[in-house]
């Protein structure tokens, strides 16, 4: 949208530039300015503007439902390194790189690794 008096270009009300929702990541705008002349004395100029939309981190990741969401049971004699479960999260933001972590103050006997949250027994599990 262009303000006819100031020439300020802005996003139309209600429009979304979010790359996760919009159809395009760039827009080519052709703008014209016309003076107040009449007939042959009316003059104009044109400009081309290329607008590139850059994705921002504005959506939280979510764990994939059904993957590792069931209760996990383990025997007390499970060896260190025993795989308990594998979780996967996805982030709708285009350039998101996920990392997983465990709160070791609450879960000191377990660790995670890799692209997925593969939860392993880290040490002996006392009862």
Task: Check if the beta carbon of residue 68 is closer than 8 Å to that of residue 100.
Answer: no
The CA-to-CA distance between both ends of the chain, in Å, stands at 66
Q: What is the pLDDT of residue 84?
A: 83
Q: Which residue has the higher pLDDT, 39 or 121?
A: 39
| pLDDT for 110 | 66
Reported as a single tens digit per residue, the pLDDT across 40-54 is 999 999 999 999 888
Q: How far apart are CA 7 and CA 47, in angstroms?
A: 12
Place of tokens 């607008």: 51
Instruction: Give the C-alpha separation, 2 to 12, whole Å.
Output: 9
C-alpha–C-alpha distance, residues 24 and 74, integer Å: 49
pLDDT for residue 102: 75
pTM assigned to the model: 0.56
Tokens describing residue 68: 């590792």
- Which of 84, 54, 55, 87 lies closest to 68 in space, CA to CA? 87
pLDDT in tens, 89-116: 888 887 778 888 777 666 666 666 656 7
Output the pLDDT for position 127: 62
Q: What is the pLDDT of residue 118?
A: 76
pLDDT at 38: 92
């Amino acid at each position: 949208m262009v303000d006819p008096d100031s020439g300020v270009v802005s996003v139309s009300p209600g429009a979304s530039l979010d790359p996760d929702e919009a159809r395009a990541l760039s827009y080519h705008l052709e703008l014209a300015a016309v003076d107040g002349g009449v007939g042959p004395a009316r003059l104009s100029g044109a400009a081309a503007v290329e607008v590139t939309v850059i994705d921002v981190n504005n959506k939280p990741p979510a764990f994939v439902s059904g993957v590792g969401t069931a209760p996990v049971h383990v025997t007390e004699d499970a060896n260190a390194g025993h795989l308990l479960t594998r979780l996967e999260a996805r982030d709708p933001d285009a350039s998101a790189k996920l990392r997983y972590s465990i709160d070791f103050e609450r879960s000191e006997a377990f660790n995670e690794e890799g692209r997925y949250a593969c939860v392993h027994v880290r040490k002996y599990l006392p009862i």
